Amino acid sequence: MNANVITDAMNKDFVLAVEGLTVSFDGFKAVNDLSFYVDENEIRVIIGPNGAGKTTVLDLICGRTKATAGSIRFKDRELTRMKEHEIVRAGVGRKFQNPSIYEDLTVFENLEISYPKGRTVMGALTFRRDGPVKERVQEVAETIFLADQLDQRAEYLSHGQKQWLEIGMLLIQDPELLMLDEPVAGMSVSERKKTAELLNRIIKDRSVIVIEHDMKFVEDIAHKVTVLHQGRILSEGPMAKVQADPKVVEVYLGH
Amino acid sequence: MSTHQDGSDKFSATRRRLLKGLAALPAAPLLSSTALFPSRAFAQAPATSAVNTTGLAVTDTDVTVGILHSVTGTMAISETGSVQAEKLAIDQINAMGGVLGRKIKFVQEDGASDWPNFAEKAKKLLVNDKCAAVFGCWTSASRKAVLPVFEQYNGMLYYPTFYEGLEQSKNVIYTGQEATQQIIAGLDWVQREKGAKSFYLLGSDYIWPRTSNKIARKHIENFMKGSKVVGEEYFPLGHTQFNSVINKIKLTKPDVIYAIIVGGSNVAFYKQLKAAGIDLSKQTLLTISVTEDEIDGIGGDNIAGAYSCMKYFQSLDNPNNKDFVAAFKKMWGEKTVIGDVTQAAYLGPWLWKLTVEKAGSFDIDKIAEASAGIEFPKAPEGYVKIHPNHHLWSKTRVGQAQLDGQFKVVFETPDLIEPNPFPKGYQ
Amino acid sequence: MFSDYSLAELSSIFLMQGFAGLILFSVFVLMALGLAIIFGQMGVINMAHGEFMILGAYVTYFTSQFFLNHLPSLFGIYFFVAMILAFLASGALGMATEWLMIRHLYKRPLDTLLATWGLSLILQQVYRSVFGPREVGVELPGWMMGSLPVTDVVEVQINGLFVMGLTIAITVAVALLMYRSSWGKQVRAVVQNRVMAGAVGINTEKVDRYTFGLGCGIAGVAGSAFTMIGSTGPTSGQLYIVDTFLVVVFGGAQSLLGTIASAFTISQAQSTLEFFLSGSMAKVLTLIGVVVILMLRPQGLFVIKVRR
Amino acid sequence: MTTQAPTSGRSFFLRPQDMIGIALLALLLLVVLPLALDNFRLQFVGKYLTYAFVALGLVLCWGYAGILSLGQGVFFGLGGYCMAMYLKLEASSVENTRIQSTPGIPDFMDWNQITALPWFWEPFRHFGFTTLAVVAVPALFALILGFALFKRRVGGVYFAIITQALAAIMTILIVGQQGYTGGINGITDLRTLHGWDIRTDGAKTVLYFVCVGLLLACILLAYYVKSSKLGRLLVAMRDKEDRVRFSGYDVSSFKVFVFCLSAALSGIGGAMFTLQVGFMSPSFVGIVPSIEMVIYTAVGGRLSILGAIYGTLLVNWAKTSFSESFPELWLLGLGGLFIAVVLAFPNGIAGLWQVHVAPRLGPLFGGPARRAASPAVAEPLPVATPAVAE
């Protein structure tokens, strides 16, 4: 799968437009004047050595970290001034690096909480577990291979299953932009295969930003790759182009 | 209490409405209760059925009373002495044959420095243990908390602490001084002896210091010609930083520092006063809150020279007191000191014994009535007498703190001062 | 309210108030240092901190009694001996506490709060049973009493100066220990990444125990210094706990400099307010001010912004 | 479809074992204790139960949401003072206070030279307003506080310390403003409610049953909240706050809600306390009672609604009987209890019940069948939430 979407900065169809994004921690610029654009239905993979600022970029987009300068526009809405939950409600979903699920709750309840209804205090108090909710949970559970574990407490799941559960929790929100931070890290070979299959299924009809180290996996899914180094973009483009870039070879693929 | 005896009790008619217990009194209280059991009243050991008609814990051989003080918590420091004094008095009374031929047994409860807990324990002592009398409480707050309990279950409380007044109950005998008794004589003395014109009032922030300072201020402004208050200030209980107020005192240079600081704050206050170079032999300081107990913590060298105004000092030179001090030290150790409240607590069991014997009964109503006019000539502080308003007639003394932690008595009112818990002109 | 005073008087007021504030500042720093180490570096909330201080105060009292009765000629220097003993006694109790209780709770900071509160109740009762319920006062050697006149009105109290000097000495020692010594490096390594520190050969258990012991030991010295200004009773420690925690939290828990700055801010605010208002209201306003600022800036005055 | 009973069949918010538990508690409080205890001891139980309201709030707030408030005494006190103000005004009729320089105002105001009723006392002449205020004043206070703190993501240890400071402030303030509050003595000598003398034994028995009734209603409310999606969200937040936030929830508003709810519950407890005990004083507002209330919850089991009630009863019963027989040992016992509960039994009585007793009683009593179902009592202890998230 190579780049079938060629974009340029003038195109207005971007789902996400990041421009001049900078964040500094006590003077250290973890992300420095970063600009990139993600198209509708595009799968973008961000790679880079440790400390390049990959996770920080995701943190900035979903509002976990506040930008020092620059703008992030999602479907022409400025995200930098919105609260995390507002960003989520606008249609941005985020999976964390380590599986972030509710260990004390069952798989069903994990998914139910992510179901985009009853999100206010009163809504949550009066929320009813009705037919559509159960159907949707069941549907998602089947997608993530956990249909027969619905009543299991999440803490008893395997590491891979926990990753799937978190992906399922995003899926049930049906976000337009999905951000995944190392979705296959720490998985066995068979789990990894299943996950790739799962990702391929769920990334249809939405834009996706993935951080990943596994080059095989990246090659499989990426439409376009962005290489970050010391908070700046080192190279950007289709996988083949990036792999051929001598700068990239030097800092990243070289060792 | 009585509404009928002497004319000086001007407020009794209205006061009666304040106190629900009074409503229950028979219309003609002067018909002494002893009249009902005339023959047995002063017999050596009258029948229990005769002296105990309300089901108190009185048997043919003994009678149960309660002791209710804090032995844990912040107030344990202050209340320990009262417990010791009450136990001493009970021992002595038992050694003399008890009350109406009955030995006194006591149930001790811990108020734990927690006012609601006092109420709970008071209820237990009255309802469960049927105590014929309770000796206890120290702080005003604990007394306020137990007062409704004593009124509801008709118990008798002997309360030892000097306090702010503004209270009177059929069910309480106040063996300490109320505020006017303690304050006015001291202020008059300091004006007379020291020519004091300006006063700086200090206190811990709660009702007794505030009410006392209010009375002091009224007295200074209305009754002492040419005198004025130059400052008045309160600190949270347990406060330990007095440098700011000491600076203010240095600037305003009052003739008298009038301090009503209590508990641990005292120690910090006097230490910092001394460290700041205020010499109490030159700067007059008058307090109503420092007894020998407090000096124990403050240290004699930190407070030497200050004047304290109350009704009792351990150093009082009279035969009663010599016996009392000796007995107290024999029972509780040579190193113990005896403060004003400790002595007042000692009066409680004795006054109760005398009242029971006068009434010829343990019944609370009869004791409440018989209390007025009870005299106790053997009191360590000298002669005392219960006023119809259930407070004590007593002398007020001024003592000067010495290096050894004792007071040297420098002044004593010639006559007993009448207790006046609802003073006109001081409201 | 200034109309009553002349200009000269006013300036001396402010001088003396400033000095009073400095004493309060020293007291706060002494109280908070031990807690800043324990809470800031280890994340443990030690509600029994006040009781560790009071142990130091009792040690000081008994040392003074011992010198008074057995070595009256050396009474002038007993205070230094007492401080060392106080440090050792509180430190040893602290290490025992860490070993018996705290080490099981490193992952549950809120539970350390409850457990140490329980410990504080027990210690209070033990003090009461062993040392008696009455407050005790320590007699100070003559040279510590009185004050040095600066001008006619302005005087400087010697024991205040002593407390300040002591505070500076201890602060410098702690700063050197934490930021210059290899031990300090180990402590910080353990704080930042316990597993990693263990992996590189640091004995994390030992570091924890000594750190806790050090914090408690400093509390003991603070208690010793407190005997100069306050009294010692079984429950005296309770009086300080809220103030101390606020100082540490207000400063930003991890920063020694923050603790000092916050102690300075709070003490100056309180002593200035005390001059214009009554003691109670000054206290209330200071506390409310601190709480409001903490609401606006929950991370405290000084905190390093870190990436997560 | 593989969906099983627990996920599909929970149409009612109480599970069978919950209903049995509540019924047993009701039986104990409404029938067994009144029959077994004399009036005097029953009134103690009534008093203890007022603390149970606070413990109930703490289960939701601390156990479920992980918010440890060390200032619950403030809310208990606010509720209690609201009620005390109403009762005091009724007791301070012109007729009753003729002796004062200003008749018709509470006695402590008169002692402090206040000559007119302060404006904020005025509305407390009305019983309706007072009833509302008992719940609303603590809740409003919690709302302001919670809004300020949770919106800025103050949590965990910092929240605990700030609430503790508030308890200290409140005490100093009440004691210092004695003209308006009765100072350290509190508001005492309360007599009648609508002319009905609340001091008699008969009245106290009636109040006991009212208290139990309210408590049972509050328990039902707590169960409802717990079993709603909001209850599961609280557990989720305690566990992974960020995940909840990135599922599109405004985490702070949920925390504010549960904090307000616990404050309101405490307020009801305080009002019932005032009615039954007959006075209110700052000694319930301070740091010590606030922490003691936390220990009731911890002993009962911080995750168990019914456990908190039993914990409260047990600790208080122990306190009363211990301090009757060995006053000196009581603090040692209480301190030891704190440490033991934290170190050895972090889930309290409910945890012990869950592990040792329930399995033998079968699924109806919450035995093994419930293990996989929902956050019940035997959960692993929550790791504290991060203190300050930036």
Query: In the predicted model, what is the mean pLDDT of residues D352-359?
Result: 81
Q: Please answer whether residues B131 and B66 qualify as being in contact, where contact means their C-beta atoms are separated by less than 8 angstroms.
A: yes
Query: In the predicted model, what is the mean pLDDT of residues B375-394?
Result: 95
Low-confidence ranges of chain C (pLDDT < 50): 1, 304-308
One-letter identity of residue C104: H
How does pLDDT run across D258-286, given as a tens digit for each residue?
999 999 999 999 999 999 988 898 888 88
**CB neighbour list of residue A22: distance below 8 Å, 6 or more residues apart:** A29, A31, A32, A33, A34, A67, A68, A69, A70
C vs D, Cβ pairs < 8 A, gives 130
Q: Distance, in angstroms, between D149 CA and closest chain C CA?
A: 6
Chain A residues whose beta carbon lies within 8 Å of the beta carbon of residue C304: 26
What DSSP string runs through D271-304? HHHHHHHS-B-GGGTSHHHHHHHHHHHHHH-TT-
Contact D342 C114 (CB under 8 A): yes
- Tell me chain A's radius of gyration from C-alpha atoms: 18
Which residue from B251, B275, B299 is facing C139, i.e. has the nearest CB?
B299
Q: Distance, in angstroms, between D234 CA and closest chain C CA?
A: 18
When the pLDDT of each residue in chain C is averaged and rounded to a whole number, the result is 83
Q: Please answer whether residues C30 and C48 qualify as being in contact, where contact means their C-beta atoms are separated by less than 8 angstroms.
A: no
> CB count, 10 Å around CB of B40?
17
**DSSP label of B61:** S
* Residue extent(s) of CATH 3.40.50.2300 domains in chain B: 12-176+320-393, 180-310+397-412
Is chain C in touch with chain D: ≥3 Cβ pairs within 8 A?
yes
Tokens of B80: 């320990």
CA distance linking residue B342 with residue A62, whole number of Å: 70
Residue D186, SS3?
coil
The answer, for B73 touching chain C at a CB cutoff of 8 Å, is yes
Query: In the predicted model, what is the mean pLDDT of residues D345-371?
Result: 70
Res. D288 pLDDT band, cuts 50 70 90: confident
What number of CA atoms fall less than 13 Å from residue C34's CA on the CB side?
A: 32
**Spans of all domains in chain C:** 18-241
Closest chain D residue by Cα to residue B115: D283
Query: In the predicted model, what is the mean pLDDT of residues B133-145?
Result: 92
**CB neighbour list of residue D55: distance below 8 Å, 6 or more residues apart:** D293, D296, D297, D300, D308, D309, D311, D312
How does pLDDT run across C256-277, given as a tens digit for each residue?
888 888 889 888 888 888 877 7
End-to-end, the C-alpha distance of chain D in Å comes to: 43
* Residue among B287, B240, B299, B279 at smallest CA distance from C155: B279
What number of CA atoms fall less than 13 Å from residue D160's CA on the CB side?
A: 23
Q: Please answer whether residues B93 and B353 qualify as being in contact, where contact means their C-beta atoms are separated by less than 8 angstroms.
A: yes
CA distance linking residue B293 with residue B341, whole number of Å: 9
Angle between helices C256-276 and C279-296 (to 10 degrees): 140
How does pLDDT run across D177-224, given as a tens digit for each residue?
888 998 888 898 888 898 898 888 889 999 999 999 999 999 999 999
Tokens of D221: 């409310």
Tokens of A150: 């619905």
Chain A residues whose beta carbon lies within 8 Å of the beta carbon of residue D257: 121
Contact C125 B72 (CB under 8 A): yes
Q: In what order do the strands lie in the sheet with B103-110?
A: B103-110, B62-69, B134-136, B157-159, B172-174
How does pLDDT run across D48-103, given as a tens digit for each residue?
999 999 999 999 999 999 899 999 999 999 999 999 999 999 998 888 888 787 88
DSSP-derived pairing of the beta strands C147-149 and A69-74: unpaired
Q: Please answer whether residues B407 and B313 qualify as being in contact, where contact means their C-beta atoms are separated by less than 8 angstroms.
A: yes
Residue to mutate among D244, D246, D251, D370, with most A CBs inside 10 A, is D246
Q: Which residues pair with D193 in a beta bridge?
A: D196
pLDDT for A252 equals 63
Annotate B72-107 with three-state secondary structure: CCCCHHHHHHHHHHHHHHHHHHHHCCCECCEEEEEE
Q: Please answer whether residues A53 and A230 qualify as being in contact, where contact means their C-beta atoms are separated by less than 8 angstroms.
A: yes
When the pLDDT of each residue in chain D is averaged and rounded to a whole number, the result is 85
Q: Distance, in angstroms, between A73 CA and closest chain C CA?
A: 23
φ/ψ of residue B190, rounded to 5: -70, -30
Residue to mutate among C274, C277, C284, with most B CBs inside 10 A, is C274
pLDDT for C4 equals 60
Is a pLDDT exceeding 60 seen at residue B405? yes
DSSP-derived pairing of the beta strands B256-260 and B284-287: parallel
pLDDT for A199 equals 81
Contact D156 C296 (CB under 8 A): no
DSSP-derived pairing of the beta strands B407-412 and B397-401: antiparallel
Exposed, middle or buried, A240 (CB in 10 Å: 0-12/13-18/19+)?
Answer: exposed
φ/ψ of residue D171, rounded to 5: -65, -50
Chain C residues whose beta carbon lies within 8 Å of the beta carbon of residue A26: 304-306
Helix H or strand E encompassing C9: helix C7-35
Query: In the predicted model, what is the mean pLDDT of residues D375-379?
Result: 40
CATH architecture for segment(s) B180-310+397-412: 3-Layer(aba) Sandwich (3.40)
Superfamily the domain B12-176+320-393 falls into: Response regulator (3.40.50.2300)
CA angle B183, B311, B278 (to 5 degrees): 60
C-alpha distances in Å from residue D339, one per residue of A198, C301, D308, D346: 49, 33, 18, 10
Helix H or strand E encompassing B200: strand B198-204
The answer, for C70 touching chain A at a CB cutoff of 8 Å, is no
Which residue from C241, C291, C296 is facing D162, i.e. has the nearest CB?
C291
Contact D232 A114 (CB under 8 A): no
Angle between helices D39-58 and B115-123 (to 10 degrees): 150
Q: Within its chain, how far is the Cα of C145 from the centroid?
A: 22
Which residue from D40, D111, D178 is facing B166, i.e. has the nearest CB?
D111
Contacts of B among chains (3+ CB pairs under 8 A): C, D
ipTM over 0.85: no
Q: Please answer whether residues A99 and A161 qualify as being in contact, where contact means their C-beta atoms are separated by less than 8 angstroms.
A: no
φ/ψ of residue B275, rounded to 5: -60, -30
C-alpha distances in Å from residue A116, one per residue of A103, A111, A173, D246: 20, 10, 6, 11
The answer, for C252 touching chain A at a CB cutoff of 8 Å, is no
Q: Please answer whether residues B298 and C231 qualify as being in contact, where contact means their C-beta atoms are separated by less than 8 angstroms.
A: yes
How does pLDDT run across D111-149, given as a tens digit for each residue?
787 888 999 999 999 999 999 999 999 999 999 999 988
Please state which CATH class domain A16-253 belongs to.
alpha beta
Instruction: Find tokens 């007699």 and name the residue.
Output: C139
How does pLDDT run across B78-108, given as a tens digit for each residue?
788 999 999 999 999 999 999 999 999 999 9
Res. B11 pLDDT band, cuts 50 70 90: very low
CA distance linking residue A229 with residue A54, whole number of Å: 9
How does pLDDT run across B173-207, given as a tens digit for each residue?
999 999 999 999 999 999 999 999 999 999 988 88
Q: H-type helices in chain D, by residue range?
A: 5-8, 16-27, 33-36, 39-58, 72-91, 107-111, 127-151, 156-176, 178-181, 201-227, 229-239, 241-245, 251-277, 287-300, 305-325, 327-343, 348-352, 358-361
**DSSP label of D355:** I
* Residue among D63, D58, D65 at smallest CA distance from D263: D58
In sequence order, what E strands does chain A have? 16-25, 28-38, 43-47, 69-74, 77-78, 92-95, 177-181, 207-211, 224-229, 232-237
**DSSP label of D177:** T
**CB neighbour list of residue C190: distance below 8 Å, 6 or more residues apart:** C197, C202, C204, C207, C208, C211
Chain B residues whose beta carbon lies within 8 Å of the beta carbon of residue D323: 109-110, 112, 117
How does pLDDT run across C172-224, given as a tens digit for each residue?
998 898 888 888 888 888 877 778 888 888 888 888 899 999 999 999 999 99
CA angle B180, B181, B182 (to 5 degrees): 90
Tokens of D310: 């039993």
CA distance linking residue B257 with residue C81, whole number of Å: 37
Q: Please answer whether residues B208 and D185 qualify as being in contact, where contact means their C-beta atoms are separated by less than 8 angstroms.
A: no
Res. A12 pLDDT band, cuts 50 70 90: low
Contact B276 C155 (CB under 8 A): yes
Instruction: Find tokens 């001059």 and name the residue.
Output: C275
C-alpha distances in Å from residue B65, one per residue of B123, B158, B362, B386: 13, 11, 11, 20
What number of CA atoms fall less than 13 Å from residue B164's CA on the CB side?
A: 23
